[in-house]
Amino acid sequence: MSDEATAFVPGHVTGFFTVSEDDDPTKAGSQGAGLALTDGVEVTVRPADEREMYLDGASIDVEPVERVLDALDADAVVTAESELPLGSGFGVSGALSLGTALAANRALGLALSENELVTIAHGAEVQSGTGLGDVVAQARGGVPIRLEPGGPQHNLLDAVPARARVEYVTFGELDTEAVLGGETDPIDEAGERALSRVVREPTLSSFIFASRRFAREAELLSERVGEAIQDVSEAGGQASMAMLGETVFALGTGLTDAGYDPEVCATHPAGAMLR
Ligand SMILES: Nc1ncnc2c1ncn2[C@@H]1O[C@H](COP(=O)(O)OP(=O)(O)O)[C@@H](O)[C@H]1O
Ligand SMILES: CC(C)(COP(=O)(O)O)[C@@H](O)C(=O)O
């Protein structure tokens, strides 16, 4: 069997997180919470003699995707179309990795299970330093709370039982690898506090409040992002920063009400899926 296959993976905006290192990439990852988005990435895998990868028509090299193909011992052309920008806190690298794993499994007739494919994509992201918890959240959908770090064999997921319209504005990129490679103690301390707040009160409102406070305490806010969040608050709305990007997201019509011209989507009720 050697047909092409396509998978859709929702984007994922992390509101807050902690960093858990481990030599075993299936145990390494992050705790935290975020929003899976109806805007996402569609990944098509076609078996071929040589590997090639394209994102929105341009040739691109994404380390975790290479790692997924290595783990699956797969040579293929990977073609991705993304509604979201790369490197701006939407988990696009995680979506590319998970989409590649799901579509390659189908296209190459590999017969791996969903947990096995999520584990491979999670490990590839962690080892590349491009993400810690996006993949498991994207596999689940909704508003996932990551109570424990790691892949599906080790983590424990819960969720905020809610859905919402989501608006976002991106000002630029933030290098995930550089932030994760720096001092992470303030992130961990702020992330733990944010997680207990949301576990105590698992609502969208407490999620976005905890995220805003996390961004401040972990000192991740840039001036532009801070200003936009403030503008939304002054207009009576709720917004925070997408980790890790120069991106502001708001619930409902928060950014529109504050005079911005945002992209609009919603929380994605399901997780990643084959088309
Ligand atoms: N033009 C590009 N812009 C941003 N990242 C790129 C680009 N080309 C390749 N990459 C790679 O894509 C990955 C982006 O990862 P990351 O910053 O975690 O993105 P995201 O926040 O979308 O998950 C990195 O491995 C980076 O080296
Ligand atoms: C916040 C981050 C560590 C990175 O997210 P991104 O920049 O979107 O790849 C994420 O993977 C998480 O663990 O919550």
Asked if 33 contacts 140 with a C-beta cutoff of 8 angstroms, the reply is: no
pLDDT value, residue 2: 53
Cα(113) to centroid of ligand 2, in Å? 24
Whether 188 shows a pLDDT value over 70: the answer reads: yes
- pTM for this one? 0.97
CB 26 within 8 A of CB 153: yes
Q: How far apart are CA 118 and CA 101, in angstroms?
A: 8
> What contacts 273, CB < 8 A, 6 or more positions away?
7, 8, 102
What is the predicted pLDDT for the residue at 26?
97
Name residues contacting ligand 2 (CB within 6 A): 14, 17, 30, 32, 89-91, 93, 130-134, 176, 243-245
Q: Which helix (H) or strand (E) holds 148?
A: none
Q: How far is the CA of 151 from the centre of ligand 1 (A)?
A: 21
pLDDT tens digits for range 63-75: 999 999 999 999 9
Segment 1-58, tens digit of pLDDT: 458 999 999 999 999 999 999 999 999 999 999 999 999 999 999 999 999 999 999 9
User: Which helix (H) or strand (E) covers residue 66, if one does?
Assistant: helix 63-72
Could you give the domains of the chain? 1-275 (3.30.230.10)
User: What tens digit of pLDDT does each residue of 137-152 get?
Assistant: 999 999 999 999 999 9
Measured by CA distance, the residue closest to atom 16 of ligand 1 is: 87
